[in-house]
Amino acid sequence: MSGARIVAYDVLRDVVDRDAYANLALASRIRTARLDSRDAGLATELAAGTLRGLGRIDRIIELAAGRQAAEIDPVALNVLRLGAHQLLSMRTAAHAAVHESVELQRRVGNERAAGFVNGVLREIGRATPEEWDERIVAEAKTPDDALAARASHPAWVLRALRDALRAEGREAEIEALLDTNNASPRVNLALLEGAGITSQELAAVEPDLFDAVCVSAIGLELLGGDPARAMATAEEQASVPAGLLRVQDQGSQLAALALVRATPVAEGERWLDLCAGPGGKTAILGAEALVEGATVRANEVSEHRADLVRDSVSGVDALPGEAIEVVSHDGREEEAFGCGPGGHELYDRILVDAPCSGLGALRRRPEARWRKQPGDLPELTALQAELLDAAAAHLKPGGVLAYVTCSPHLAETRVGVDRALKRHPELRELDAKAAVRAAAREDEQPELAGEQLSAQLWPHRHGTDAMFVSLLTRES
């Protein structure tokens, strides 16, 4: 029995049955099993690929088994999911996929179900993936149900993504977006200000490790291998200070940089990252602030995540210890802004990277699409509005507030911004598209659609998570 398959099964069980995060479960299980790089790659593809394709896989299992997925023993269902993924989407030989799955069932579950697993997988193997997709479409109740099942997205998520594209006049791109969400992305890295070398120069020094064909001016793509080893090589071979090269999606990079590029920075400015955990954007702001003569306060409501922020910024050799103040308070309360009794602190720039549905990061968090429900949105949007209101009250006249979500859902993006502007007539929206372009490479300017001043990034169009950025300024 392959160790990689055991790890993949354990991860799938952890995620589906115990609500674990796939990336954390994978790292832990791979480390515990001591898999070599080849088996670690196989385990990752088995687990992450199965989670991305879960909706389509489950529908094909249902058609092949003649029963609903909910009626199948949970252990056997997870074994079938891994086997079906190998048959439908990997180059694993059919006989090997079936045999290994049967042996896996015997090891982790009821041995009497091994025959059921064998029969269902053999039935799946009798048709091509394209033929199974045709059956999915033929037996779906609506076109949306057919597309959702075939593209492995919940139908409500599909409709939300299409609505966001329609707002830009790009509804026809929905299938391209869904396909991109189901593709494994390259690891993105950010090279922070102060490295003494640009991302393009670093890629030229280490062409076997990095590619600088990126939209972010500080971005790099890892060509393969272990990110930690690649970052260590950059520190050793290119003298990059420790911590200045870090894993971070380019959309996240652009969102943080847009706040800095929105207007010229004056020395002595005070910046606030209101929802800072886990600290990636905070580190970018800290590096930029050090160059610009500004200071940064980072607030995170969760003590655990505040510790992650501290770890994120303390690991940057170029940042002095006092460069970033990290605190833990509810972002809706005065303590988050450093206000003492009777005091009222104001900031020149505030980043509100609001808690959201995370629908913009489905490539990287494959399990997220199956955990969120439409009923989650009202509570999230209410929290987003309260955080925006609190930040607006602490923004200096002429200051800039960046409202950011890793979601393109209109309820979390334009609807929230438009309502905030109605609540706060003292606020005016700035051109976030121009600020994002200023944060991008000159030769890789992102195409940002729509008539609104806000900027929406897309995985299929920009190679980033679907980050939304709106910039607001206070006029009085």
Both 276 and 132 in one domain: the answer is no
179: in domain: no
Q: Which two tokens stand for residue 22?
A: 């796939």
Provide mean pLDDT across the span 405-420: 98
pLDDT of residue 423: 98
User: Nearest CA to 474 among 355, 392, 417?
Assistant: 392
One-letter amino acid identity for 195?
A
Both 343 and 195 in one domain: the answer is no
- pLDDT tens column, 216-231: 999 999 998 889 999 9
Query: What is the tally of structural domains in the chain?
Result: 3
- pLDDT tens column, 38-52: 999 999 999 999 999
In this model, does residue 206 exceed pLDDT 70?
yes
CB 440 within 8 A of CB 253: no
Provide mean pLDDT across the span 153-160: 97
More confident call, 45 vs 91: 45
Considering only CA atoms, give the Rg of the chain.
24
167: in domain: no
- Is 277 annotated among the ligand-binding residues? yes
In this model, does residue 16 exceed pLDDT 70?
yes
56: in domain: yes
Both 217 and 112 in one domain: the answer is no
Both 292 and 212 in one domain: the answer is no
Both 71 and 220 in one domain: the answer is no
Both 233 and 323 in one domain: the answer is no
Q: Which two tokens stand for residue 227?
A: 């990110």
Provide mean pLDDT across the span 422-434: 98
- Looking at every residue in the chain, the average pLDDT score rounds to 94
pLDDT of residue 326: 95
Both 237 and 324 in one domain: the answer is no
CB 37 within 8 A of CB 229: no
Provide mean pLDDT across the span 407-422: 98
Residue finishing a domain among 208, 227, 247: 247
- Is 330 annotated among the ligand-binding residues? yes
Sequence-distant (≥ 6) Cβ neighbours of residue 382 within 8 angstroms: none
In this model, does residue 415 exceed pLDDT 70?
yes
Q: How confident is the model at residue 366 (pLDDT cuts 50, 70, 90)?
A: confident
pLDDT of residue 453: 98
pLDDT of residue 286: 95
172: in domain: no
- Of 89-93, 139-143, 219-223, the range with the lowest mean pLDDT is 89-93
- Is 279 annotated among the ligand-binding residues? yes
Provide mean pLDDT across the span 396-404: 98
pLDDT of residue 98: 96
In this model, does residue 213 exceed pLDDT 90?
no
CB 201 within 8 A of CB 211: no
Both 73 and 198 in one domain: the answer is no
- Is 119 annotated among the ligand-binding residues? no
- 406 as an active site residue: the answer is yes
pLDDT of residue 14: 95
Both 370 and 421 in one domain: the answer is yes
- pLDDT tens column, 265-323: 999 999 999 999 999 999 999 999 999 999 999 999 999 999 999 999 987 877 776 77
CB 123 within 8 A of CB 98: no
329: in domain: yes
- Is 226 annotated among the ligand-binding residues? no
- Residues constituting the chain: 476
Q: Which domain holds residue 25?
A: 3-152
164: in domain: no
- Check 214, 339, 356, 406 and give the catalytic one: 406
Both 278 and 321 in one domain: the answer is yes
Q: What is the dihedral of CA 280, 431, 441, 324, to 10 degrees?
A: -30
158: in domain: no
More confident call, 10 vs 340: 10
Q: Which two tokens stand for residue 423?
A: 């609540």
- Of 254-268, 313-327, 355-369, 443-457, the range with the lowest mean pLDDT is 313-327
Both 447 and 413 in one domain: the answer is yes
Provide mean pLDDT across the span 80-85: 97
Sequence-distant (≥ 6) Cβ neighbours of residue 199 within 8 angstroms: 191, 210, 212, 214, 217, 218, 219, 220
Q: DSSP string covering 254-317, please?
A: HHHHHHHHSSPPPTT-EEEETT-TT-HHHHHHHHHHHHHT-EEEEE-SSHHHHHHHHHHHHT-T
Q: DSSP string covering 448-476, please?
A: --SSSSSEE--HHHHSS---EEEEEEE--
pLDDT of residue 314: 86
Q: Say which CATH number the domain at 15 has.
A: 1.10.940.10
- Is 66 annotated among the ligand-binding residues? no
In this model, does residue 342 exceed pLDDT 70?
no
Both 65 and 101 in one domain: the answer is yes
Residue finishing a domain among 219, 247, 275: 247
Q: How far apart are CA 90 and CA 84, in angstroms?
A: 9
- Is 275 annotated among the ligand-binding residues? yes
In this model, does residue 139 exceed pLDDT 70?
yes
159: in domain: no
- Is 311 annotated among the ligand-binding residues? no
Q: How far apart are CA 387 and CA 336, in angstroms?
A: 11
pLDDT of residue 2: 82
Secondary structure class of 220 (helix, strand, coil): strand
